[in-house]
Structure 1
Amino acid sequence: MTQEERLDAIAALLERQQRITVDEICRNFAISRDSARRDLVKLTEQPRFQRIRGGARLLKLIAEPLPFLQRSRSATKVALAQRTLEVLQPGASLYLDSGSTLLELARLLAAQAQPFRLVSAALDALQLLSQNPVLSLHGLGGEFEPLQRMMLGAEAERQLGLFRLQHAVMGICALNEHGLTAPTAAEAGLKRRAISQAGHLIAVGSSDKFGQQQLHQVCELAQLDLLICDALPAEPLRQALSDLDIPIVTLEVSLD
Protein backbone atom coordinates (compact mmCIF):
# COMPACT_ATOMS: atom_id res chain seq x y z
CA MET A 1 0.00 0.00 0.00
CA THR A 2 1.40 3.41 -0.96
CA GLN A 3 1.31 6.35 1.43
CA GLU A 4 -1.44 8.00 -0.62
CA GLU A 5 -3.59 4.87 -0.40
CA ARG A 6 -2.91 4.65 3.32
CA LEU A 7 -3.85 8.29 3.82
CA ASP A 8 -7.14 7.70 2.03
CA ALA A 9 -7.81 4.71 4.29
CA ILE A 10 -6.95 6.69 7.44
CA ALA A 11 -9.22 9.52 6.30
CA ALA A 12 -12.05 7.02 5.80
CA LEU A 13 -11.53 5.71 9.35
CA LEU A 14 -11.62 9.23 10.72
CA GLU A 15 -14.88 9.92 8.90
CA ARG A 16 -16.41 6.88 10.63
CA GLN A 17 -14.98 7.12 14.14
CA GLN A 18 -14.05 10.83 14.50
CA ARG A 19 -10.62 10.08 16.08
CA ILE A 20 -7.65 7.82 15.49
CA THR A 21 -4.46 7.15 17.44
CA VAL A 22 -0.92 6.44 16.28
CA ASP A 23 -1.23 2.96 17.82
CA GLU A 24 -4.39 2.24 15.78
CA ILE A 25 -2.64 3.27 12.57
CA CYS A 26 0.30 1.03 13.41
CA ARG A 27 -1.97 -1.95 14.06
CA ASN A 28 -4.27 -1.42 11.08
CA PHE A 29 -1.53 -0.86 8.51
CA ALA A 30 1.43 -2.77 9.99
CA ILE A 31 3.74 0.25 9.94
CA SER A 32 6.13 1.79 12.46
CA ARG A 33 5.20 4.65 14.79
CA ASP A 34 7.52 6.97 12.86
CA SER A 35 5.68 6.13 9.62
CA ALA A 36 2.32 6.62 11.34
CA ARG A 37 3.41 10.04 12.61
CA ARG A 38 4.57 11.04 9.13
CA ASP A 39 1.18 9.97 7.77
CA LEU A 40 -0.59 12.13 10.35
CA VAL A 41 1.59 15.14 9.53
CA LYS A 42 0.68 14.75 5.87
CA LEU A 43 -2.99 14.07 6.54
CA THR A 44 -3.49 17.04 8.84
CA GLU A 45 -2.33 19.42 6.14
CA GLN A 46 -6.00 19.12 5.13
CA PRO A 47 -8.16 21.60 7.11
CA ARG A 48 -10.77 18.99 8.09
CA PHE A 49 -8.25 16.98 10.17
CA GLN A 50 -6.43 18.15 13.31
CA ARG A 51 -3.40 16.71 15.11
CA ILE A 52 -4.00 15.93 18.77
CA ARG A 53 -1.79 14.27 21.34
CA GLY A 54 -1.25 10.69 20.23
CA GLY A 55 -3.25 10.90 17.01
CA ALA A 56 -5.71 13.02 15.02
CA ARG A 57 -9.38 13.92 14.95
CA LEU A 58 -11.99 14.94 12.42
CA LEU A 59 -13.04 18.59 12.57
CA LYS A 60 -16.67 19.27 11.79
CA LEU A 61 -17.07 22.14 9.38
CA ILE A 62 -19.47 24.77 10.70
CA ALA A 63 -21.76 26.44 8.22
CA GLU A 64 -22.25 30.19 8.42
CA PRO A 65 -25.25 30.88 10.67
CA LEU A 66 -28.46 31.94 9.01
CA PRO A 67 -29.64 35.51 9.63
CA PHE A 68 -31.90 35.42 12.66
CA LEU A 69 -35.13 36.18 10.83
CA GLN A 70 -34.50 33.29 8.39
CA ARG A 71 -34.32 30.66 11.14
CA SER A 72 -37.36 28.45 11.33
CA ARG A 73 -39.41 27.54 14.38
CA SER A 74 -39.49 23.87 15.22
CA ALA A 75 -41.08 21.50 17.72
CA THR A 76 -37.61 20.68 19.05
CA LYS A 77 -36.84 24.32 19.85
CA VAL A 78 -40.22 24.74 21.57
CA ALA A 79 -39.62 21.56 23.61
CA LEU A 80 -36.13 22.71 24.65
CA ALA A 81 -37.57 26.04 25.75
CA GLN A 82 -40.20 24.23 27.82
CA ARG A 83 -37.57 22.06 29.50
CA THR A 84 -35.56 25.17 30.31
CA LEU A 85 -38.56 26.91 31.85
CA GLU A 86 -39.17 23.85 34.04
CA VAL A 87 -35.74 24.14 35.70
CA LEU A 88 -36.04 27.87 36.49
CA GLN A 89 -37.25 28.86 39.93
CA PRO A 90 -40.40 31.02 39.82
CA GLY A 91 -39.40 34.66 39.86
CA ALA A 92 -35.71 33.96 39.21
CA SER A 93 -33.36 36.61 37.85
CA LEU A 94 -31.61 35.67 34.62
CA TYR A 95 -29.71 36.78 31.57
CA LEU A 96 -31.48 35.57 28.43
CA ASP A 97 -29.11 35.05 25.50
CA SER A 98 -30.00 35.41 21.82
CA GLY A 99 -30.96 32.59 19.45
CA SER A 100 -34.07 30.99 18.02
CA THR A 101 -34.40 28.42 20.83
CA LEU A 102 -34.19 31.11 23.49
CA LEU A 103 -36.70 33.19 21.55
CA GLU A 104 -39.10 30.30 22.19
CA LEU A 105 -38.24 30.56 25.88
CA ALA A 106 -39.03 34.28 25.75
CA ARG A 107 -42.39 33.40 24.18
CA LEU A 108 -43.13 31.08 27.11
CA LEU A 109 -41.95 33.58 29.70
CA ALA A 110 -44.19 36.23 28.15
CA ALA A 111 -47.18 34.02 29.00
CA GLN A 112 -46.13 33.33 32.62
CA ALA A 113 -47.75 34.80 35.72
CA GLN A 114 -44.46 34.50 37.63
CA PRO A 115 -42.53 37.78 38.10
CA PHE A 116 -39.26 36.74 36.48
CA ARG A 117 -36.51 39.37 36.38
CA LEU A 118 -34.78 39.38 33.01
CA VAL A 119 -31.83 41.05 31.34
CA SER A 120 -31.26 40.60 27.61
CA ALA A 121 -29.59 42.14 24.57
CA ALA A 122 -31.79 40.18 22.12
CA LEU A 123 -34.26 42.57 20.50
CA ASP A 124 -36.90 40.05 19.42
CA ALA A 125 -36.90 38.41 22.85
CA LEU A 126 -37.28 41.82 24.50
CA GLN A 127 -40.21 42.65 22.25
CA LEU A 128 -42.01 39.45 23.26
CA LEU A 129 -41.19 39.84 26.94
CA SER A 130 -42.41 43.44 26.98
CA GLN A 131 -45.97 42.16 26.45
CA ASN A 132 -46.04 40.77 30.01
CA PRO A 133 -46.28 43.54 32.63
CA VAL A 134 -45.54 41.07 35.45
CA LEU A 135 -41.95 40.67 34.26
CA SER A 136 -39.14 42.94 35.40
CA LEU A 137 -37.33 43.62 32.14
CA HIS A 138 -33.98 45.29 31.40
CA GLY A 139 -32.73 45.73 27.83
CA LEU A 140 -29.05 46.30 27.12
CA GLY A 141 -27.87 49.01 24.77
CA GLY A 142 -24.84 48.88 22.52
CA GLU A 143 -23.92 48.26 18.89
CA PHE A 144 -26.64 46.55 16.85
CA GLU A 145 -25.58 43.22 15.32
CA PRO A 146 -28.02 42.39 12.50
CA LEU A 147 -27.19 38.68 12.09
CA GLN A 148 -28.24 37.86 15.66
CA ARG A 149 -30.51 40.93 16.06
CA MET A 150 -28.92 41.82 19.37
CA MET A 151 -26.86 44.56 20.98
CA LEU A 152 -23.16 43.88 21.45
CA GLY A 153 -19.93 45.66 22.29
CA ALA A 154 -18.32 47.45 25.20
CA GLU A 155 -21.42 49.40 26.21
CA ALA A 156 -23.60 46.28 26.37
CA GLU A 157 -20.93 44.54 28.47
CA ARG A 158 -20.65 47.56 30.79
CA GLN A 159 -24.39 47.66 31.39
CA LEU A 160 -24.55 43.92 31.98
CA GLY A 161 -21.83 44.31 34.60
CA LEU A 162 -24.28 46.33 36.74
CA PHE A 163 -26.46 43.26 37.40
CA ARG A 164 -26.08 40.25 39.69
CA LEU A 165 -28.20 37.36 38.39
CA GLN A 166 -29.13 33.85 39.46
CA HIS A 167 -28.86 32.32 36.00
CA ALA A 168 -27.20 32.93 32.64
CA VAL A 169 -29.32 31.04 30.10
CA MET A 170 -26.94 30.66 27.19
CA GLY A 171 -27.55 29.49 23.63
CA ILE A 172 -25.03 27.06 22.16
CA CYS A 173 -23.10 28.22 19.09
CA ALA A 174 -20.64 25.31 19.40
CA LEU A 175 -19.78 22.96 22.26
CA ASN A 176 -17.04 20.36 22.64
CA GLU A 177 -14.94 18.93 25.45
CA HIS A 178 -13.00 22.23 25.60
CA GLY A 179 -16.11 24.31 26.29
CA LEU A 180 -18.41 26.82 24.64
CA THR A 181 -17.23 28.91 21.70
CA ALA A 182 -18.79 31.63 19.55
CA PRO A 183 -18.17 32.93 16.01
CA THR A 184 -17.30 36.54 16.87
CA ALA A 185 -15.27 38.25 19.57
CA ALA A 186 -18.15 40.60 20.39
CA GLU A 187 -20.65 37.79 20.93
CA ALA A 188 -18.18 35.77 22.99
CA GLY A 189 -17.39 38.86 25.08
CA LEU A 190 -21.02 39.48 26.00
CA LYS A 191 -21.54 35.80 26.84
CA ARG A 192 -18.47 35.84 29.09
CA ARG A 193 -19.72 38.91 30.92
CA ALA A 194 -23.14 37.29 31.42
CA ILE A 195 -21.49 34.19 32.88
CA SER A 196 -19.39 36.30 35.25
CA GLN A 197 -22.51 38.12 36.52
CA ALA A 198 -24.56 34.96 37.13
CA GLY A 199 -24.34 32.28 39.77
CA HIS A 200 -25.52 29.42 37.56
CA LEU A 201 -24.82 28.74 33.86
CA ILE A 202 -27.42 26.87 31.81
CA ALA A 203 -26.45 26.03 28.22
CA VAL A 204 -29.38 25.25 25.91
CA GLY A 205 -29.23 23.98 22.33
CA SER A 206 -29.56 21.15 19.85
CA SER A 207 -27.12 18.27 19.60
CA ASP A 208 -26.01 19.26 16.09
CA LYS A 209 -23.85 21.92 17.80
CA PHE A 210 -21.91 19.26 19.76
CA GLY A 211 -18.37 18.39 18.76
CA GLN A 212 -18.01 21.73 17.00
CA GLN A 213 -15.69 24.61 17.69
CA GLN A 214 -15.88 28.27 16.79
CA LEU A 215 -12.99 30.73 16.85
CA HIS A 216 -13.68 32.60 20.10
CA GLN A 217 -13.69 30.96 23.53
CA VAL A 218 -16.69 31.69 25.75
CA CYS A 219 -15.95 29.43 28.71
CA GLU A 220 -14.37 26.16 29.73
CA LEU A 221 -16.63 23.13 29.97
CA ALA A 222 -16.17 23.06 33.77
CA GLN A 223 -18.08 26.36 34.07
CA LEU A 224 -21.34 24.76 32.89
CA ASP A 225 -23.82 23.96 35.67
CA LEU A 226 -26.48 22.37 33.44
CA LEU A 227 -26.79 21.29 29.80
CA ILE A 228 -30.25 21.15 28.19
CA CYS A 229 -30.33 19.49 24.78
CA ASP A 230 -32.43 17.29 22.50
CA ALA A 231 -30.16 14.21 22.61
CA LEU A 232 -27.26 12.93 24.68
CA PRO A 233 -23.81 13.98 23.43
CA ALA A 234 -21.46 11.51 21.78
CA GLU A 235 -17.91 10.92 22.97
CA PRO A 236 -15.63 12.57 23.94
CA LEU A 237 -18.00 15.35 25.06
CA ARG A 238 -20.28 12.99 26.97
CA GLN A 239 -17.37 11.55 28.95
CA ALA A 240 -16.00 15.02 29.68
CA LEU A 241 -19.39 16.12 31.03
CA SER A 242 -19.59 12.96 33.15
CA ASP A 243 -16.09 13.50 34.53
CA LEU A 244 -17.11 17.00 35.60
CA ASP A 245 -20.47 15.83 37.06
CA ILE A 246 -22.39 18.28 34.87
CA PRO A 247 -26.09 17.31 34.75
CA ILE A 248 -27.65 16.79 31.31
CA VAL A 249 -31.37 17.31 30.66
CA THR A 250 -32.68 16.05 27.32
CA LEU A 251 -36.17 15.85 25.87
CA GLU A 252 -36.33 12.22 27.05
CA VAL A 253 -34.03 11.72 30.04
CA SER A 254 -32.06 13.54 32.72
CA LEU A 255 -28.57 12.48 33.80
CA ASP A 256 -27.50 13.91 37.17
Structure 2
Amino acid sequence: MQPSERQDQIVAMLGRASEMTVDELAEALAVSRETIRRDLTRLDARGKVRKFHGGARVMTISTSAMEMEGPYALRLAQNAEAKRKIAQAAARLFQADDSLFIDTGSTTVAMAEALVGLEALVIITNSPRIAATVASNPSHKVFLIGGAYGSDAGESLGPLALEQIGKFRVRHAVITIGAIDANCVMDFDLQEAEVAKAMIERADRVTVLADHSKFDRRAVFEVVPLARIDTLVTDVPPGETIQAALSAAGIDVIVSG
Protein backbone atom coordinates (compact mmCIF):
# COMPACT_ATOMS: atom_id res chain seq x y z
CA MET A 1 0.00 0.00 0.00
CA GLN A 2 1.28 3.43 -0.95
CA PRO A 3 1.69 6.00 1.88
CA SER A 4 -0.97 8.25 0.30
CA GLU A 5 -3.48 5.38 0.25
CA ARG A 6 -2.70 4.49 3.87
CA GLN A 7 -3.06 8.10 4.94
CA ASP A 8 -6.44 8.34 3.16
CA GLN A 9 -7.54 5.26 5.11
CA ILE A 10 -6.37 6.83 8.38
CA VAL A 11 -8.46 9.95 7.68
CA ALA A 12 -11.48 7.79 6.85
CA MET A 13 -11.08 5.67 10.00
CA LEU A 14 -10.78 8.75 12.19
CA GLY A 15 -13.83 10.18 10.45
CA ARG A 16 -15.84 7.20 11.67
CA ALA A 17 -14.29 6.80 15.11
CA SER A 18 -13.51 10.50 15.84
CA GLU A 19 -10.38 9.48 17.78
CA MET A 20 -7.95 6.53 17.68
CA THR A 21 -4.64 5.63 19.28
CA VAL A 22 -1.43 4.92 17.40
CA ASP A 23 -1.65 1.28 18.52
CA GLU A 24 -5.21 0.94 17.19
CA LEU A 25 -4.28 2.43 13.82
CA ALA A 26 -1.13 0.30 13.53
CA GLU A 27 -3.09 -2.88 14.25
CA ALA A 28 -5.92 -1.98 11.86
CA LEU A 29 -3.53 -1.20 8.99
CA ALA A 30 -0.94 -3.90 9.81
CA VAL A 31 2.01 -1.49 9.93
CA SER A 32 4.43 -0.35 12.61
CA ARG A 33 3.62 2.31 15.18
CA GLU A 34 6.48 4.41 13.83
CA THR A 35 4.91 4.35 10.36
CA ILE A 36 1.62 5.53 11.84
CA ARG A 37 3.36 8.31 13.77
CA ARG A 38 5.00 9.56 10.56
CA ASP A 39 1.65 9.43 8.74
CA LEU A 40 -0.07 11.35 11.53
CA THR A 41 2.66 13.99 11.51
CA ARG A 42 2.16 14.53 7.77
CA LEU A 43 -1.63 14.54 8.05
CA ASP A 44 -1.52 17.01 10.93
CA ALA A 45 0.75 19.31 8.90
CA ARG A 46 -1.79 19.20 6.04
CA GLY A 47 -4.66 20.00 8.39
CA LYS A 48 -6.34 16.61 7.88
CA VAL A 49 -6.18 15.38 11.50
CA ARG A 50 -5.16 16.71 14.88
CA LYS A 51 -2.30 14.69 16.34
CA PHE A 52 -1.87 14.28 20.10
CA HIS A 53 0.43 12.16 22.26
CA GLY A 54 -0.35 8.53 21.51
CA GLY A 55 -3.00 9.09 18.84
CA ALA A 56 -5.02 11.47 16.70
CA ARG A 57 -8.53 12.80 16.31
CA VAL A 58 -10.56 14.03 13.37
CA MET A 59 -10.43 17.74 12.66
CA THR A 60 -13.53 19.69 13.65
CA ILE A 61 -14.86 21.41 10.53
CA SER A 62 -16.97 24.50 10.92
CA THR A 63 -20.18 24.88 8.96
CA SER A 64 -18.72 27.71 6.90
CA ALA A 65 -15.71 25.55 6.00
CA MET A 66 -17.94 22.66 4.97
CA GLU A 67 -19.88 24.87 2.59
CA MET A 68 -16.84 25.61 0.44
CA GLU A 69 -15.02 23.66 -2.23
CA GLY A 70 -11.56 24.13 -3.64
CA PRO A 71 -10.68 24.90 -7.28
CA TYR A 72 -11.23 22.08 -9.76
CA ALA A 73 -7.51 21.67 -10.53
CA LEU A 74 -6.89 21.06 -6.83
CA ARG A 75 -9.77 18.58 -6.59
CA LEU A 76 -8.31 16.60 -9.50
CA ALA A 77 -5.19 15.97 -7.42
CA GLN A 78 -6.98 15.13 -4.17
CA ASN A 79 -7.43 11.39 -3.44
CA ALA A 80 -6.40 10.70 -7.04
CA GLU A 81 -5.60 7.02 -6.49
CA ALA A 82 -8.87 6.44 -4.65
CA LYS A 83 -10.79 8.08 -7.48
CA ARG A 84 -9.02 5.92 -10.05
CA LYS A 85 -10.04 2.77 -8.18
CA ILE A 86 -13.62 4.02 -7.82
CA ALA A 87 -13.71 4.65 -11.57
CA GLN A 88 -12.42 1.17 -12.37
CA ALA A 89 -15.02 -0.43 -10.10
CA ALA A 90 -17.81 1.69 -11.57
CA ALA A 91 -16.84 0.90 -15.16
CA ARG A 92 -17.65 -2.76 -14.50
CA LEU A 93 -21.32 -1.81 -14.08
CA PHE A 94 -21.74 -1.03 -17.78
CA GLN A 95 -21.77 -3.10 -20.94
CA ALA A 96 -21.98 -2.66 -24.70
CA ASP A 97 -24.93 -0.60 -25.98
CA ASP A 98 -25.55 1.05 -22.58
CA SER A 99 -26.30 4.78 -22.68
CA LEU A 100 -24.81 7.06 -20.03
CA PHE A 101 -25.04 10.65 -18.89
CA ILE A 102 -21.77 11.65 -17.24
CA ASP A 103 -21.49 14.98 -15.45
CA THR A 104 -18.30 16.93 -14.82
CA GLY A 105 -16.14 16.12 -11.83
CA SER A 106 -12.71 14.93 -10.83
CA THR A 107 -13.96 11.36 -10.31
CA THR A 108 -15.89 11.25 -13.59
CA VAL A 109 -12.71 12.31 -15.42
CA ALA A 110 -11.12 9.15 -14.03
CA MET A 111 -14.30 7.30 -14.98
CA ALA A 112 -13.93 8.42 -18.61
CA GLU A 113 -10.46 6.91 -18.74
CA ALA A 114 -11.82 3.61 -17.40
CA LEU A 115 -14.62 3.58 -20.01
CA VAL A 116 -12.17 3.79 -22.91
CA GLY A 117 -11.55 0.06 -22.52
CA LEU A 118 -15.24 -0.84 -22.93
CA GLU A 119 -17.07 -1.22 -26.23
CA ALA A 120 -19.97 0.51 -27.97
CA LEU A 121 -21.31 2.87 -25.31
CA VAL A 122 -23.46 5.92 -25.96
CA ILE A 123 -22.09 8.73 -23.76
CA ILE A 124 -23.59 12.17 -23.22
CA THR A 125 -21.57 14.63 -21.16
CA ASN A 126 -21.21 18.35 -20.48
CA SER A 127 -17.42 18.00 -20.17
CA PRO A 128 -15.23 18.49 -23.29
CA ARG A 129 -12.41 16.68 -21.48
CA ILE A 130 -14.56 13.62 -20.78
CA ALA A 131 -15.95 13.68 -24.33
CA ALA A 132 -12.45 13.76 -25.84
CA THR A 133 -11.27 10.93 -23.58
CA VAL A 134 -14.08 8.48 -24.33
CA ALA A 135 -14.06 9.43 -28.03
CA SER A 136 -10.56 7.97 -28.29
CA ASN A 137 -12.39 4.64 -28.55
CA PRO A 138 -14.09 4.83 -31.97
CA SER A 139 -16.74 2.27 -30.98
CA HIS A 140 -18.31 4.79 -28.58
CA LYS A 141 -20.92 7.28 -29.76
CA VAL A 142 -20.32 10.57 -27.91
CA PHE A 143 -22.56 13.63 -27.55
CA LEU A 144 -21.18 16.84 -26.05
CA ILE A 145 -23.70 19.10 -24.34
CA GLY A 146 -23.21 22.80 -25.08
CA GLY A 147 -24.06 25.91 -23.09
CA ALA A 148 -22.39 28.61 -21.05
CA TYR A 149 -18.76 27.66 -20.45
CA GLY A 150 -17.69 27.21 -16.83
CA SER A 151 -13.96 27.86 -16.96
CA ASP A 152 -13.03 26.38 -13.57
CA ALA A 153 -13.99 22.78 -14.37
CA GLY A 154 -14.24 23.24 -18.14
CA GLU A 155 -17.92 22.35 -18.47
CA SER A 156 -21.16 23.45 -20.12
CA LEU A 157 -23.77 24.91 -17.77
CA GLY A 158 -26.95 26.98 -17.74
CA PRO A 159 -30.30 26.90 -19.55
CA LEU A 160 -28.90 25.80 -22.92
CA ALA A 161 -27.20 22.80 -21.33
CA LEU A 162 -30.36 21.85 -19.44
CA GLU A 163 -32.45 22.13 -22.61
CA GLN A 164 -30.13 19.79 -24.50
CA ILE A 165 -30.04 17.24 -21.68
CA GLY A 166 -33.83 17.09 -21.94
CA LYS A 167 -33.57 15.76 -25.51
CA PHE A 168 -32.02 12.48 -24.35
CA ARG A 169 -33.31 9.45 -22.50
CA VAL A 170 -30.62 7.11 -21.14
CA ARG A 171 -30.16 3.98 -19.11
CA HIS A 172 -27.66 5.40 -16.61
CA ALA A 173 -26.76 8.74 -15.06
CA VAL A 174 -23.28 8.76 -13.54
CA ILE A 175 -22.71 11.75 -11.30
CA THR A 176 -20.17 13.09 -8.86
CA ILE A 177 -21.15 15.01 -5.76
CA GLY A 178 -19.76 17.44 -3.24
CA ALA A 179 -21.30 15.89 -0.13
CA ILE A 180 -23.52 13.11 1.17
CA ASP A 181 -25.34 12.69 4.46
CA ALA A 182 -28.11 10.43 5.75
CA ASN A 183 -30.77 12.25 3.72
CA CYS A 184 -29.44 13.26 0.31
CA VAL A 185 -26.49 14.03 -1.93
CA MET A 186 -25.46 17.65 -2.42
CA ASP A 187 -23.23 19.95 -4.43
CA PHE A 188 -21.53 23.27 -3.80
CA ASP A 189 -22.44 24.89 -7.11
CA LEU A 190 -26.04 25.64 -8.13
CA GLN A 191 -25.50 25.25 -11.87
CA GLU A 192 -23.64 21.97 -11.46
CA ALA A 193 -26.44 20.71 -9.20
CA GLU A 194 -28.99 21.67 -11.87
CA VAL A 195 -27.10 19.71 -14.54
CA ALA A 196 -26.93 16.65 -12.29
CA LYS A 197 -30.66 16.91 -11.52
CA ALA A 198 -31.53 17.19 -15.21
CA MET A 199 -29.46 14.12 -16.03
CA ILE A 200 -31.06 12.13 -13.22
CA GLU A 201 -34.56 13.05 -14.42
CA ARG A 202 -33.79 11.61 -17.87
CA ALA A 203 -32.13 8.37 -16.67
CA ASP A 204 -33.50 5.00 -15.59
CA ARG A 205 -30.76 4.35 -13.05
CA VAL A 206 -28.47 6.60 -11.02
CA THR A 207 -24.90 5.80 -10.03
CA VAL A 208 -23.08 8.15 -7.65
CA LEU A 209 -19.27 8.21 -7.48
CA ALA A 210 -17.97 9.55 -4.17
CA ASP A 211 -14.73 9.02 -2.27
CA HIS A 212 -14.80 8.86 1.52
CA SER A 213 -14.10 12.59 1.94
CA LYS A 214 -17.70 13.29 0.83
CA PHE A 215 -19.31 11.34 3.70
CA ASP A 216 -20.96 13.18 6.60
CA ARG A 217 -20.42 16.46 4.80
CA ARG A 218 -22.87 19.23 3.96
CA ALA A 219 -23.19 21.41 0.87
CA VAL A 220 -25.60 24.17 -0.02
CA PHE A 221 -27.55 22.64 -2.92
CA GLU A 222 -29.44 19.36 -2.76
CA VAL A 223 -29.05 17.22 -5.88
CA VAL A 224 -31.26 14.22 -5.12
CA PRO A 225 -32.60 12.30 -2.12
CA LEU A 226 -30.99 8.96 -1.33
CA ALA A 227 -34.13 7.11 -2.43
CA ARG A 228 -33.48 8.05 -6.08
CA ILE A 229 -29.96 6.55 -6.11
CA ASP A 230 -29.44 2.96 -7.24
CA THR A 231 -25.69 2.50 -6.72
CA LEU A 232 -22.96 4.26 -4.74
CA VAL A 233 -19.35 3.50 -5.64
CA THR A 234 -16.80 4.58 -3.07
CA ASP A 235 -13.34 3.71 -1.76
CA VAL A 236 -14.00 3.13 1.95
CA PRO A 237 -17.10 1.69 3.64
CA PRO A 238 -19.31 4.50 5.02
CA GLY A 239 -19.77 5.00 8.75
CA GLU A 240 -22.67 3.39 10.59
CA THR A 241 -25.12 6.31 10.29
CA ILE A 242 -24.75 6.75 6.55
CA GLN A 243 -24.55 3.01 5.95
CA ALA A 244 -27.87 2.55 7.74
CA ALA A 245 -29.44 5.31 5.63
CA LEU A 246 -28.06 3.81 2.41
CA SER A 247 -29.41 0.39 3.34
CA ALA A 248 -32.82 1.83 4.19
CA ALA A 249 -32.89 3.53 0.77
CA GLY A 250 -32.05 0.26 -0.97
CA ILE A 251 -28.77 1.54 -2.42
CA ASP A 252 -26.20 -0.95 -3.62
CA VAL A 253 -22.85 0.14 -2.14
CA ILE A 254 -19.72 -0.93 -4.03
CA VAL A 255 -16.38 -0.44 -2.28
CA SER A 256 -13.54 -0.33 -4.80
CA GLY A 257 -10.71 -2.78 -4.37
1:127-175 deviation line (CA, Å, top 9, x unaligned): 2122222111100000111122110001000000000000000112111
1:200-247 deviation line (CA, Å, top 9, x unaligned): 000012011011111111111111100000011113211111112211
CA distance in 1, matches of 2:18, 2:139: 51
1:240 maps to what in 2?
A: 245
Whichever residue aligns with residue 115 of structure 1, its letter is A
1:155 maps to what in 2?
A: 160
**Aligned-pair CA distance for 1:82:** 0.8
Q: Does 1:48 align with 2:62?
A: yes
Q: Does 1:164 align with 2:154?
A: no
Larger radius of gyration: 1
CA distance in 2, matches of 1:218, 1:178: 11
1:216 maps to what in 2?
A: 221
TM-score, normalization by structure 2: 0.72
Question: Is the 2:112–2:130 contact (alpha carbons within 8 Å) kept by the matching residues of 1?
Answer: yes
Within a 5 Å distance, the mapping from 1:88-167 to structure 2 comes to 88-112=94-118, 114-167=119-172
1:225 maps to what in 2?
A: 230
SS at match of 2:92: helix
**Aligned-pair CA distance for 1:118:** 0.4
Runs of 4+ with deviation above 4 angstroms? none
Q: Which sections of structure 1, spanning at least 5 residues, go unmatched?
A: 1-14, 18-46, 50-58
CA distance in 2, matches of 1:69, 1:150: 16
2:92 maps to what in 1?
A: 86
Moved more, 128-137 or 148-157: 128-137
CA distance in 1, matches of 2:75, 2:167: 33
Whichever residue aligns with residue 148 of structure 2, its letter is E
Question: Is the 1:177–1:240 contact (alpha carbons within 8 Å) kept by the matching residues of 2?
Answer: yes
CA distance in 2, matches of 1:103, 1:187: 15
Q: What is the identity percentage for the equivalent residue pairs of Structure 1 and Structure 2? A: 24
Whichever residue aligns with residue 182 of structure 2, its letter is E
Distance 1:201 1:121, change over 3 A: same
Distance 1:160 1:233, change over 3 A: same
Q: Which has the higher contact order (CA 8 A, sep 6+)?
A: 2
1:34-57 deviation line (CA, Å, top 9, x unaligned): xxxxxxxxxxxxx937xxxxxxxx
Q: Which sections of structure 2, spanning at least 5 residues, go unmatched?
A: 1-16, 20-60
Whichever residue aligns with residue 120 of structure 2, its letter is P
Moved more, 61-70 or 168-177: 61-70
CA distance in 2, matches of 1:241, 1:64: 24
**Aligned-pair CA distance for 1:68:** 3.2
